[in-house]
Amino acid sequence: MTEPIFEIVPNLSEGRDATTIALAADAVDGAGARVLHVTSDPVHHRSVITAAGTATQVLDAAVALAAVACERIDLRTHSGVHPRMGALDVLPFVPLARANMEQAIALAHDAGRSIWRRLRIPSFYYGEAALVPERRPLPAVRPSPQGPPDAGELPPHASAGAIAIGARRLLVAFNIELGTHDIAIGRRIARLLRERDGGLRTLRALAFAVHPQSVQLSLNVTDERATPLYRIVDVVRRLAAEHGVAVLRSELIGCVPRYAVVSAALYALGVEDPSV
């Protein structure tokens, strides 16, 4: 295959209904994109689908997925710990092989227009696809975006809400579970970790009370070379220890660049330069 290849990582506001999740993955597959990974969480009430394909395949998959979400998910009866503004909540386009960011941006904008025409769901563009600087960070768009949408019109769809559609480079999403029920400790650690509060570069962090005896740190790393995963885990262990809290486990969400895994493995083996 010589065509450019793109990744999409749609986040659905559904983590409990296996039928809806399966229909969503089938919609992506039916559009020709290859589903690489699906993960669901009932407490967050959220699923993340990772898929890849040509420009036409991922665009068709995005629109088909939005249609399933619109039909099957009603935000008026939705409850979950993760913030959301849409049934299909977040839809990033990522350039992979032979693809560039300009093409990913064009796909994001095409998706917003197509979803509005077909489903009357408005979209807000974020990341590299943002039309105004204020909307580049995803937290600035969700959960309460200011001003008119970039595609479509307000008010949001009655049951499906609105969508944050973006273009970005590869991102590593992973969670770290802390052995405490005290959400204040988790939030304090997340605040110390995240870049916007003076923490580690390219890192976004939130804390959620997902189990009675543990707190989850939800982490997004937008540049794993600037902030390696092993560095984040080391810092979390140190900050948690200051509160007498243990790190219980970690989990990856979706796909991860090979470099991020190799560098972490080499670090664990004691290789002096993990970039080798």
CA distance 276 to 12: 37
From the number of C-beta atoms within 10 Å of its C-beta (0-12, 13-18, 19+), residue 80 rates as middle
Q: Which two tokens stand for residue 166?
A: 């973006």
Report cis status (omega within 30 of 0) of the bond before 83: no
Q: Yes or no: say if 59 and 111 are a contact pair by the CB < 8 Å rule.
A: yes
For residue 76, with 0-12 CB atoms within 10 Å meaning exposed, 13-18 middle and 19 or more buried, which class applies? exposed
Query: How many CB atoms within 10 Å of residue 274?
Result: 17
CB 38 within 8 A of CB 25: yes
Nearest Cα to Cα of residue 221 among 249, 183, 182, 261: 261
Q: Give dist(CA 124, CA 152) in Å, integer.
A: 9
How would you write 6-38 as a 3-class SS string? Answer: EEECCEECCCCCHHHHHHHHHHHHHCCCEEEEE
Gap between the Cα atoms of 275 and 224, Å rounded: 11
Q: What are the catalytic residues? A: 82
E strands within the chain?
A: 6-8, 11-12, 34-41, 46-53, 88-95, 123-127, 163-167, 172-178, 203-211, 214-221, 247-253
